[in-house]
Amino acid sequence: MVSTDFELQSASESASAETANATVSDAAADSTFAEVDDRSRTVPAIEFRDVHLTFGERVILGGISFVVQKGETKIILGGSGTGKSTLIKIILGLLKPDSGRVLVDGEDITDYTEEQMMSVRHKIGMIFQEGALFDSLSVYDNVAYRLHEQNVDEAQVEEEVRRMLRFVNLEDAIEKMPIELSGGMRRRVGIARALVGAPSVILFDEPTAGLDPPTARTICELAIKLRDLEDVSSIFVTHEMNNLTYLTGEYAVVDDSGEVILEQEGEKLCLINTKIMMLRDGEIIFSGTDELLRKSDDRYIQTFIHGK
């Protein structure tokens, strides 16, 4: 689903041509209706139905239910050890819940075998805290990894790798080894690698942990671009409030010259494609917009937001 710069540019050109005529073309109206009528968009990207998981005596997830809609970003907040990574492992089928159902794209994957999970995992891009690169492989080979495994023709591999590296603004680093990269660059290579194969769902597990604030921001900007320009659905696990402020307050658009720019949500807009869910002791203690979260009078939530 990651489109090329060319597609982005031509989309913006046709949009400005329409504004010039001040009428909506039949083609535009048709495509809007097609989107509204597209039933597959009403199927959630991810759904948990009353999911329970215990490790020994400890309840990690005590009956969790939520949906991530198509095109939505769900920010998951929660202290350390509250089951955030566990939840992501369940989506990937690396852990099975004790009870409850888990659906990806409308497909109930709860009882899937390892083999059945392979096709589900192709729809999912996973971004880990450390970037998790193979240190002995170049940036090119790291990003190409999945494609090489699938024996894709090398010319096609290179085209795809370059396109992904352009998306994360790192095409110049294509020949480098991971050890030569800064922490932020390693994360971005990790993102480029996760985008290969155009996953419709992306799972970010604390992708900015340990990064300085400006670098953390570049990671959030990529998540915003994926949400707004590529129609990706995602879960973004974090406990950093800065990330939440960026993701819930800014959106990406393509300007008249075809450049991607970020705009502030401001006072008038309220982004509806980004929601927050907060976990505590195996329960969801909050679910909703950042506006509601900030207004919550729950002491625990206020302490979490303000750090005191």
Ligand X SMILES: Nc1ncnc2c1ncn2[C@@H]1O[C@H](COP(=O)(O)OP(=O)(O)O)[C@@H](O)[C@H]1O
Question: Under the rule (CB under 5 A), what is the footprint of Mg ion?
Answer: 84-85
208 sits near ligand X (criterion: CB under 6 A): no
97 sits near ligand X (criterion: CB under 6 A): no
Instruction: Give the one residue of 69, 85, 138, 142 binding ligand X; rule: CB under 6 A.
Output: 85
78 sits near ligand X (criterion: CB under 6 A): yes
Rounded distance between C-alpha atoms, residue 38 and residue 230, angstroms: 17
107-108, strands of its sheet edge to edge: 58-68, 46-55, 99-104, 107-108
CA distances 43 to 10, 37, 46, Å, are 29, 12, 9
Instruction: Give the one residue of 12, 69, 86, 238 binding ligand X; rule: CB under 6 A.
Output: 86
Task: Output the smallest distance, CB 299 to ligand X, in A.
Answer: 20
Q: Which stretch binds ligand X (CB under 6 A): 74-82, 154-162, 252-260, 267-275?
A: 74-82
Whichever of 173 and 279 has its CB closer to ligand X, that residue is 279
Rounded distance between C-alpha atoms, residue 259 and residue 9, angstroms: 8
| Beta strand residue intervals within 105-264, DSSP E | 107-108, 124-127, 201-205, 233-237, 250-254, 260-264
Whichever of 265 and 283 has its CB closer to Mg ion, that residue is 283
Rounded distance between C-alpha atoms, residue 170 and residue 184, angstroms: 11
Task: Output the smallest distance, CB 80 to ligand X, in A.
Answer: 4
Task: Output the smallest distance, CB 205 to Mg ion, in A.
Answer: 6
Sign of CA dihedral 203, 222, 247, 184: positive
238 sits near ligand X (criterion: CB under 6 A): no
Task: Output the smallest distance, CB 204 to Mg ion, in A.
Answer: 11
Find tokens 């790192």 and name the residue: 170
What is the radius of gyration, based on Cα positions, of the chain?
20
Instruction: Give the one residue of 44, 83, 125, 207 binding ligand X; rule: CB under 6 A.
Output: 83
Name which of residues 164 to 193 contact ligand X (CB under 6 A): none
Q: What does 46 interact with, of ligand X, Mg ion, none (CB < 5 to 8 A by kind)?
A: none
